[in-house]
Amino acid sequence: MQDFIPDPKRWAALALLCAAQFIVILDTSIIGVALPAMQADLGFSAGGLSWIFNAYVIAFGGLLLLGGRLGDLLGARRIFAGGFAILTLASLLAGLAPSQEMLLAGRALQGVGAALIAPSALTILMRLFGHDGAELGKAFGFWGAAAAAGGSAGVFLGGVITEWMSWNWTFLINVPLGLLVLALVPAVLGKSPRSSGGIDWFGAISVTGALVSLVYAIVSIESAGSDPSQTLSILVVSGILFAIFLIAQFARREPLLPLGIFKAPNLAAGNLVMALLGAAWIPLWFFLNLYLQQILGLSALASGLALLPMTVTIMVVMVGLSGRLIGRFGAKPNLVLGLLLMGGALWMFANLPPDGTFLMDVLPASLLAAFGMALAYIPTTMTGMAGARPEETGLASGLINTTYQIGSAIGLAIMVALSTSGSGEGTGQTAETMLAGFQTAFLGAGVAAGVAALAALLFVGTSGPQKDVPVG
């Protein structure tokens, strides 16, 4: 570290990386407000609607480990640019989709692009700022704020576009943004180092197949009715594929996921908490959108505006407060407190009335949830990556992103199943049955947040107050 010369373009590079994070999160959040319009236009069922999210997340989460490995082998900058090329093309496909099948194919391809972008961007960030813990903490603050800004812009633009244009433009907006990023990459990002080794294609295929079948089985529970044999069969297939993947990782000389990485301090605990964080947060966002439009009767634009205070709060707290609190109290106390606040907010959402109002019933809980997310997300990311060796940063970043995305997908699938079972027969026919389902889903997400807080309390080591962020 004594001979290390910081990249003079690192802050410009950070701006581009934050723009990439902004676009990836925008790509997820912008569709939330537009979901009812997509449902009406293309005829999605209630369960099928969740696949607009899950098709993206399964491809994203299932291929993140491969994306991280490719970044280590071929260079993070090259994989970052390749991911944006795929994401831009996929956005065009989804935006022009005339059918459910083409829309879901475009969403899955967007997930492939995001799986290349996310770990490579985080790897570049760690390499640019890992020499200085204070700079790294500041960079993480901007990184988290970019995600929140993407969420804010997404819910607002989603409402504006759905209200005055069409849902198709929630995807097409990514095309010019993606082309702009691709044009700036050669000028701003320096060449990334490469490592030697091979690619475990078998591991990537087996783990992706396992994750796809797992989420599909959970989503199909409600439609299976009194005959659960098909769901059980798919779960068995998923378990077999996971077992094959793990055996292969033990046996292969160059596995996709060297299991020894879990010996790094706090890495396993950080990934467990991150998965549970996703399982709580994404269902909150998904069902709150539906509550605002289908129960309170807000328009797409009004729904997007109603979610702005939540996402703006996340951005402000991450930039202005989270880093200071971590520096003063350490990552663990912030993490536990944030998860408890999110659990409390979800309990409030689980008691939303059918005749509720935004100011009295939605705003207080949404701000509490936003504060909790802002406190929890950055410490969880740091916990999941800090103990990895420098040559494993791509793998560690792919892993922490994987656990969040897969936790999100499985959590949403479970909450959708709980929602449909909680609303009983005639789901979607009356506001009362829909609300009962939403309340059940919020309660289930609250349980996930509570379990995450308990896991953080029990398994995450205490680093204490710190001026510098540990980087391995």
Amino acid at 293: Q
What pLDDT, on a 0 to 100 scale, did the predictor assign at position 280?
93
Q: Tell whether 3 is covered by a domain.
A: no
Is 250 found in the same domain as 264? no
Nearest alpha carbon to residue 126 among 461, 381, 324, 331: 381
Q: What is the C-alpha to C-alpha distance for residues 148 and 25, in angstroms, rounded to an integer?
A: 8
What pLDDT, on a 0 to 100 scale, did the predictor assign at position 323?
73
Q: Tell whether 391 is covered by a domain.
A: yes
DSSP, collapsed to helix, strand or coil, labels residue 333 as helix
- DSSP secondary structure string for all residues of 19-66: HHHHHHHHHHHHHHHHHHHHHHHH---HHHHHHHHHHHHHHHHHHHHH
Nearest alpha carbon to residue 283 among 150, 414, 152: 414
Tell which of 217, 233, 255 closes a domain: 255
CB atoms within 10 A of CB 251: 8
Q: What is the C-alpha to C-alpha distance for residues 49 and 46, in angstroms, rounded to an integer?
A: 5
Q: Tell whether 5 is covered by a domain.
A: no
- Domain count along the chain: 2
What pLDDT, on a 0 to 100 scale, did the predictor assign at position 466?
43
Q: Tell whether 119 is covered by a domain.
A: yes
For residue 68, give both structure tokens.
């991280």
- DSSP secondary structure string for all residues of 169-204: HHHHTHHHHHHHHHHHHHHHSPPPP-------HHHH
What pLDDT, on a 0 to 100 scale, did the predictor assign at position 113?
92
Q: Could you report how far apart the first and last alpha carbons of the chain are, in Å?
A: 12
What pLDDT, on a 0 to 100 scale, did the predictor assign at position 464?
44
Q: Tell whether 416 is covered by a domain.
A: yes
158-187 tens-digit pLDDT: 777 777 777 778 888 889 988 998 999 888
What pLDDT, on a 0 to 100 scale, did the predictor assign at position 65?
75
Nearest alpha carbon to residue 369 among 405, 404, 344, 332: 344
36-93 tens-digit pLDDT: 777 777 777 766 777 787 788 777 777 777 887 788 788 888 899 999 999 999 999 9
Contact 385, 270 (CB under 8 A): yes
What pLDDT, on a 0 to 100 scale, did the predictor assign at position 194?
65
What pLDDT, on a 0 to 100 scale, did the predictor assign at position 267?
82
Is 159 found in the same domain as 86? yes
What pLDDT, on a 0 to 100 scale, did the predictor assign at position 203?
83
Contact 391, 335 (CB under 8 A): no
Is 84 found in the same domain as 40? yes
Q: What is the C-alpha to C-alpha distance for residues 320 and 378, in angstroms, rounded to an integer?
A: 13
Domain that holds residue 223: 200-255
Is 408 found in the same domain as 355? yes
Is 451 found in the same domain as 306? yes
Q: What is the C-alpha to C-alpha distance for residues 325 and 328, in angstroms, rounded to an integer?
A: 5
Tell which of 233, 255, 277 closes a domain: 255
Is 264 found in the same domain as 244? no
Q: Tell whether 30 is covered by a domain.
A: yes
For residue 119, give both structure tokens.
């770990």
Q: What is the C-alpha to C-alpha distance for residues 233 and 463, in angstroms, rounded to an integer?
A: 44
Q: Tell whether 213 is covered by a domain.
A: yes
Categorise residue 266: left if φ over 0, alpha if ψ from -120 to 50, beta otherwise: left
Is 222 found in the same domain as 109? no
Is 55 found in the same domain as 35? yes
For residue 380, give both structure tokens.
């969880």
Q: Tell whether 470 is covered by a domain.
A: no
Which residues of the chain register pLDDT less than 50?
A: 1-2, 425-428, 464-472
What pLDDT, on a 0 to 100 scale, did the predictor assign at position 68?
78
Contact 132, 139 (CB under 8 A): no
Is 384 found in the same domain as 335? yes
Name the CA radius of gyration of the chain, rounded: 21
